[in-house]
């Protein structure tokens, strides 16, 4: 039984910024559904002749768990179990050991965990579920995947947390994730940023290092952007946060995933169409990488096309000159 004090301390109770975004998104979704009853009736189910979503087979095996396998979870903040994230679940612990937990340096291990989640788990729009279920399924939303990364870090005794923000996105990803279904498109467009995106962060070598595990190399190639590595941010590359919405959290808060649960109930076909679009995006990116001569060749070409990053410019308060004496 989770106490109110524990819910508040771990961040299960939404922060004010998060709560405002969720309330706004819920109101907008309700209005969209009420104002578009014909679309809902027409789009809520898959009709005969429409393409169906087929989940691809999981591209990895989960190693067997053995009693006595070490789990690095403690009662310390960012190292303890949180909502949907049990780092000591047997499948998570077994995978952590297979990736080198307690054998590799913290940096090398978190990098391995990042690469595993980013490239082996697929993006699929599904309701939220416990982290070990995500690992067994091999797919999930960005928050499912971030939770797998965070659980793998905590299982190895490495602090990890969530970073969330409301955002807009580059057009190619808008087309794949939003434009794939008319109902989802109306919902997004009516609010502008109902989607809350996230990244993982791991505390390695004395600093928080970002880990955006959502896109595979193929999805990034389909958008013409570089293949990001551990420590490279999605912000400014393909996501653009709404000012004032960036939040760090120990846990997924209550309410996150409510939109996918609601869509699954009232318009399951909308989720299916988005998932089909994601698969097409993957296939397109696979072709781009193949034509470029492989992942490394594509990435080098994409980074060269992007050009060098300019220096960041910030304004600071000028220091006054003081004359004394």
The per-residue pLDDT of the chain, averaged, comes to 88
pLDDT at 9 over 60: yes
pLDDT at 257 over 70: yes
> What is the Cα–Cα distance from 303 to 226, expressed in whole angstroms?
6
pLDDT of residue 160: 98
209 belongs to a structural domain = yes
Burial class (CB in 10 A: 0-12, 13-18, 19+), 90: middle
pLDDT at 323 over 70: no
Burial class (CB in 10 A: 0-12, 13-18, 19+), 179: middle
18 belongs to a structural domain = yes
Q: Which residues of 299-310 are buried (b: 16+ CB within 10 A; e: fewer)?
A: bebbeeeeeeee
Total of domains in the chain: 1
pLDDT digits (tens, 9 = 90+) for 116-130: 999 999 999 999 999
**Do 72 and 110 form a contact (C-beta atoms < 8 A)?**
no
User: How much is the average pLDDT of 74-78?
Assistant: 97
Comparing CA positions, the residue from 62, 60, 61 lying closest to residue 120 is: 60
Sequence-separated (6 or more) residues with CB below 8 Å from residue 120: 59, 60, 138
User: How much is the average pLDDT of 135-142?
Assistant: 97
Sequence-separated (6 or more) residues with CB below 8 Å from residue 76: 159
pLDDT at 299 over 70: yes
User: How much is the average pLDDT of 83-105?
Assistant: 98
User: How much is the average pLDDT of 33-53?
Assistant: 85
pLDDT of residue 324: 37
318 belongs to a structural domain = no
Q: Which residue has the higher pLDDT, 181 or 86?
A: 86
**Do 142 and 214 form a contact (C-beta atoms < 8 A)?**
yes
The torsion angle over the Cα atoms of residues 203, 107, 300 and 145, rounded to 10 degrees, is -60
pLDDT of residue 183: 79
Residues spanned by the domain of 151: 4-306
324 belongs to a structural domain = no
> What is the Cα–Cα distance from 103 to 108, expressed in whole angstroms?
10
Lowest mean pLDDT among 48-57, 196-205, 230-239, 257-266: 257-266
DSSP 178: T
User: How much is the average pLDDT of 132-153?
Assistant: 97
pLDDT digits (tens, 9 = 90+) for 217-236: 999 999 999 999 999 999 88
316 belongs to a structural domain = no
pLDDT at 158 over 90: yes
85 belongs to a structural domain = yes
315 belongs to a structural domain = no
pLDDT of residue 192: 56
């Amino acid at each position: 039984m989770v106490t109110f004090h524990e819910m508040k301390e771990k961040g299960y109770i939404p922060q004010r910024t998060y709560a405002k975004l969720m309330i706004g998104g819920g109101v907008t979704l309700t209005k969209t559904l009420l104002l578009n009853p014909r679309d809902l009736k027409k789009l809520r189910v898959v009709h005969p002749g429409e393409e169906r979503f087929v989940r691809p087979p999981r591209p990895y095996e989960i190693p067997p768990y053995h009693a006595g396998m070490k789990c690095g979870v403690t009662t310390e903040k960012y190292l303890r179990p949180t909502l949907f994230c049990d780092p000591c679940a047997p499948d998570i612990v077994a995978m952590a050991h297979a990736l080198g937990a307690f054998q590799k340096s913290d940096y090398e291990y978190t990098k391995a965990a990042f690469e595993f989640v980013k490239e082996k788990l697929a993006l699929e729009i599904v309701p939220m579920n416990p982290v070990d279920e995500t690992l067994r399924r091999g797919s999930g939303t960005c928050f499912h995947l971030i939770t797998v990364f965070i659980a793998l870090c905590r299982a190895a005794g490495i602090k990890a947390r969530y970073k969330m923000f409301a955002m807009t996105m580059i057009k190619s990803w808008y087309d794949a994730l939003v434009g794939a279904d008319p109902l989802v498109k109306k919902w997004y467009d009516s609010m502008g940023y109902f989607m809350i995106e996230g990244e993982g962060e791991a505390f390695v070598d004395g600093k928080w290092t970002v880990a955006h595990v959502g896109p595979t190399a193929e999805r990034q190639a389909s958008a013409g952007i570089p293949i990001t590595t551990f420590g490279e941010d999605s912000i400014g590359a393909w996501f653009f946060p709404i000012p004032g919405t960036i939040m760090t959290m120990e846990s997924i808060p209550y309410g996150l995933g409510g939109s996918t649960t609601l869509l699954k109930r009232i318009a399951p076909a909308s989720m299916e169409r988005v998932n089909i679009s994601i698969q097409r995006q993957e296939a397109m990116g696979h072709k781009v990488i193949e034509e470029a001569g492989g992942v490394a060749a594509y990435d080098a070409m994409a980074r060269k096309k992007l050009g060098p990053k300019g220096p960041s410019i910030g304004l600071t308060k000028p220091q006054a000159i003081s004359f004394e004496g």
